[in-house]
Amino acid sequence: MSAFSFLERYRAATFVLAVVFFCSPGYAEGVQGEFDNQCVMGLASGHRTPTDCSVNWTGKDGKTYCFTDAKAKALFLKDPTANLEKAREFIATSEVEATQADMADVTTDQVKTFTQELIESAAKTNGGAFPLHDAVTDKKLDLVFEQFEFVRQLKGYGFFPDVKFHAKDDEAKKYVLDFWVKPRAGKLVLMDTRIYRAPKKEGNAWTLVSRSPTPWWWIPSTEHPGDTEVRRGWQVMSSIDEHIVDAQKKDGGVFKLKDDVTGEEIALQFVAIHQPVRKLKEDGQYFACSDFRKVGTTDEFYDIDFWVDEQSGKMSVLKAKVHKVPTLKDGTWVQVPRYNWDDKTSDVVP
């Protein structure tokens, strides 16, 4: 064998080995996953583990998630939606102090601008509609932006703009999306997008109802009310929302309320909480109105008032009372009030 032929064979063998190495699952140069290539199953379990992202998975959101090995990936894929939410919660909790410091340099208007630019950018590549994968129905939604409802701030966690949309194919189908935005390394980043309220067919009309389970960022707001001296409307709404969800869990998915006038126990399906939230001047309690549909009907809606107070460091619901009852008039169900509020006795909570 000549020296030349040996050298050629050596180079060929070296090339083959290089191809096998660089193209094998154990090498993933250039792959950039979410969470800085940390194992997403590790994050869901409460610890950080860096990876080379050679073992990865692309979710229906189009993002790449990394794993330490195939076993971690298989465990994650048993319930990817729940595990991904746990991972994001762990990241949020572990970055509280840094996020809290960075939030001081960010305004609500900046958050709105960032979120709207994100929505518009995504819509440009999707026929003018904002695309979103609905994890509950496992369907892709095409949504049209309408307006911002409000932006909540959760100290140490970030900003949560509530944005109203409607379905591209049916303007009557309304959605409310929660965007989780937080400052990181001098810029705003989108952490998550969740459907907070979605349309539900009631007879011939669409009704906007709250999704269950409630996004996790509504819950910490009621557990740490002392973080801010002034209560916000969304904090009061959060406590009411949590109260309703807990009650529904106990009663098979319905909210049961005793009518203080008739004595009847009414089975209700939660629809939405109204704005504005108000604070009573007399005793400092908060209250808000809400809509519920009577179970077994399509168009009988009750207006229920909730009173909220801050006790033992936590905002909680004190009582609920029927404000308006469904009454049949000329063949149509309308809400008739049992009592009226004097706006002079309370202040609007922003």
CA distance 34 to 274: 36
Local structure of 269: helix, strand or coil: strand
- Distance (Å) of CA 4 to CA 8, 13, 16, 217, 231: 6, 14, 19, 68, 82
Task: For the chain, 350 residues long, give each residue's pLDDT as a single digit of tens.
Answer: 444 344 444 444 443 333 333 333 334 456 789 998 999 999 998 889 999 999 999 998 888 999 999 999 999 999 998 899 889 888 877 787 888 889 999 999 999 999 999 999 999 999 999 999 887 788 899 999 999 988 988 888 899 999 999 999 999 999 999 999 999 888 999 988 999 989 988 778 888 888 876 777 776 555 543 344 456 777 788 788 878 878 888 888 899 999 999 999 999 988 878 878 899 999 889 989 998 989 988 889 999 999 999 876 678 899 999 999 999 998 889 999 999 988 889 998 87
pTM (whole model) above 0.75: no
The tokens of 277 are what? 């939230």
Q: Structural domain boundaries of the chain?
A: 3-96, 102-199, 219-350
What percent of the residues of the chain are helix, what percent strand, and what percent coil, each to the nearest 5? 30, 40, 30
Give me the amino acid identity at 153: Q
Write out pLDDT tens, residues 257-272: 999 999 999 999 888 7
Task: Of 272, 274, 276, give the one whose Cα is nearest residue 350.
Answer: 276
Q: Which fold has domain 102-199?
A: Nuclear Transport Factor 2; Chain: A, (3.10.450)
